[in-house]
Structure 1
């Protein structure tokens, strides 16, 4: 028995040694073993934090639904994919706002998310980002109903997921992307990178929060940290630098950029069901098509392979009009009064782009005027911190 135990130990030792550094880094950054309930409690109490997981994002839907349910009823909620994440509470102050972005991948999921909220926590106004590809049947077949359990529970990292993450952890460690200081002294690393002592003292949860200084603020919006620093420095190692990766996907018809023909009628039908539900619950809906950079949009249109985009804005306008709701087409940065220099990547705008979009909504008579001071927002835009960031404070 002793010999067998020693053999098993010898066989296991290389794996234990191999996993020791990834486990240490993942635990140190609270990617592994982080307390989601603590994050939810911090958010509900207004305690600043930065939440950004790099290898296990399964908790985000659960986390945001629970935070929204724990907070006092919001006046305005932004809901959609990552392309709504630059709306911030400061744009709606002093009214109550929360950004529930990064929780929706397809049209039916809007209904799923909102229907899971307690009745007394339903927002007065809902801003929804309708990603173009949600109406492309080749990207989203809508063959199965959303799984509500994805919002009601989450999976912690296990041995298998740690093994999967370990290769990337080692790659980033040996390439110098990850410094041991990021784990041992994350506050000092943050201050050194951001030159912001206030941000340095904010608790971080997750690999991205500690290493890339990227994650969710307490209002649910996204802080892009090092990505913006790299873009400001015109660094070629910035994510999707000069939209190279996005343009490649457009050319190859990959991922969200699958080439498609007609508008998916099932997606339109599901949208109609959601709008009817919101009308029944007295929720005012403000819908918009999020922007691509002009470079990416022009490439898509010029290819002649994205026909579902033809007339999509008119179709959505018709559907929203039918319920007395609002619709805005911001398919390009220029339509939002912005340039490609304000892009986080090929299909994500910075904070300044979304402030510009909001001001245009207000100028066109949006009911959001009940919650926003457009003159104050214009002053904010005129004093923005840099071409991506409007508000300097975290």
Structure 2
């Protein structure tokens, strides 16, 4: 065989292997309801059909959230971690709203998010939920680069294949779904089209307003003991966002002050809040060496910062301060939609956001729903 024929044969064999790899991957993605993960189609489905998005193959939702924000340009955004994902668009009237939660967990990540948003437009109001662990000196904060980029179709697909094969190897539940798919085209709670294995299998995922639907917990709420067990363990062990320290990190705190200044100078009205913990967990902080002093210093320093910058400030660190029982908490550091309805009602004291608060609707929802977590009708 000549060298030319050998090279051609090798090239053909390589192409056949690549094609087979892609065909098998696409078949598995279809079986797992993950075909549109990382694609603009998922953005279209959320905007146009109110789809529920929940992928089991990747945690990167930047393509989805920034895609929706760049197209809809909401007047009000909730900027923060997963602890903003219980704010809902129906809480507000005569305006548009979106929750950015899930894009990062540090001051740097919040600045990255705001900078990317403000390239297209500047939100009128930013509800800025500041988390305690951002200024903990014993936590290493890293910037996670996005996996999916809008214009890199081939790269996006290859990264999705990588996540697919990794989860297929590691995750027994993914393998079980490949063998016997038990997925629903519409979620069991809100009857939305589903995108992703978590959405189709468990009705878990992001709604079109950026909030997160905890499908399994809504359908079958665990006991508070079950919900709080992991957080108590974190506090006891001093790890996973609950590392012990006596003082805030001055460098990270300065970054926080600078970011608030930047957002205001760009033209946004900024409201700062401290997101709630269940009373049981807050009391565990107060009884724990290495958590109590830090928590109190964090609360006081953010309050003083907001006073100095003349920024509206709301300290909801303890759910009990909202007259919210611990039964409303999703887990040890995520309050539910019901609690966040209470929070939005407190914003009435701010004259800028007050006209947009859908007060009558929120109050009616809280009366009409007897669920500890969900108050807004499921299909909204």
Matches for 1:205-284 after TM superposition, within 5 Å: 205-231=195-221, 234=222, 241-284=226-269
Q: 1:286 to 1:151 in 2, by over 3 A?
A: farther
The two structures have a TM-score, normalised by structure 1, of 0.81
1:88 paired to 2:105: no
Alignment partners' CA distance in 1, 2:223 and 2:35? 31
Look up the match of 2:76.
Answer: 76
Look up the match of 1:139.
Answer: 139
Look up the match of 1:40.
Answer: 43
Alignment partners' CA distance in 2, 1:166 and 1:328? 44
Instruction: Specify the SS of the correspondent of 2:49.
Output: coil
Q: 1:346 to 1:265 in 2, by over 3 A?
A: same
Instruction: Specify the SS of the correspondent of 1:349.
Output: coil
Q: 1:330 to 1:314 in 2, by over 3 A?
A: same
Alignment partners' CA distance in 2, 1:375 and 1:108? 37
Alignment partners' CA distance in 2, 1:381 and 1:152? 40
Q: 1:124 to 1:160 in 2, by over 3 A?
A: closer
Deviation at 1:269, TM superposition (A): 0.8
Alignment partners' CA distance in 2, 1:33 and 1:41? 10
Matches for 1:1-394 after TM superposition, within 5 Å: 26-31=29-34, 34=37, 36-44=39-47, 46-58=48-60, 60-71=61-72, 73-119=73-119, 121-140=121-140, 142=141, 146=143, 155-156=156-157, 157-158=159-160, 160-167=162-169, 169-171=171-173, 180-183=180-183, 186-187=184-185, 190-191=187-188, 194=189, 199-200=190-191, 202-231=192-221, 234=222, 241-306=226-291, 307-362=293-348, 364-365=349-350, 367-394=352-379
Instruction: Specify the SS of the correspondent of 2:199.
Output: helix
Q: 1:165 to 1:262 in 2, by over 3 A?
A: same
Alignment partners' CA distance in 2, 1:272 and 1:321? 12
Q: 1:327 to 1:155 in 2, by over 3 A?
A: farther
- Report Cα offsets for 1:308-362 as digits up to 9, x if no partner: 2122112111112222211111112212221111111111111101001111222
Alignment partners' CA distance in 2, 1:88 and 1:217? 9
Alignment partners' CA distance in 1, 2:119 and 2:36? 32
Q: How many residues align?
A: 356
Alignment partners' CA distance in 1, 2:231 and 2:179? 29
Alignment partners' CA distance in 1, 2:319 and 2:78? 19
Q: 1:100 to 1:179 in 2, by over 3 A?
A: farther
Gaps of 5+ in 1: 6-11
Alignment partners' CA distance in 2, 1:170 and 1:119? 42
- Report Cα offsets for 1:193-212 as digits up to 9, x if no partner: x4xxxx33x22111111112
Q: 1:258 to 1:383 in 2, by over 3 A?
A: same
Cα RMSD for the two superposed structures = 3.1
The two structures have a TM-score, normalised by structure 2, of 0.83
Alignment partners' CA distance in 1, 2:223 and 2:174? 17
Deviation at 1:94, TM superposition (A): 3.0
Look up the match of 1:9.
Answer: none
- Report Cα offsets for 1:187-236 as digits up to 9, x if no partner: 37x44xx4xxxx33x221111111121111111111111122121xx479
Alignment partners' CA distance in 2, 1:161 and 1:373? 41
Alignment partners' CA distance in 2, 1:376 and 1:203? 26
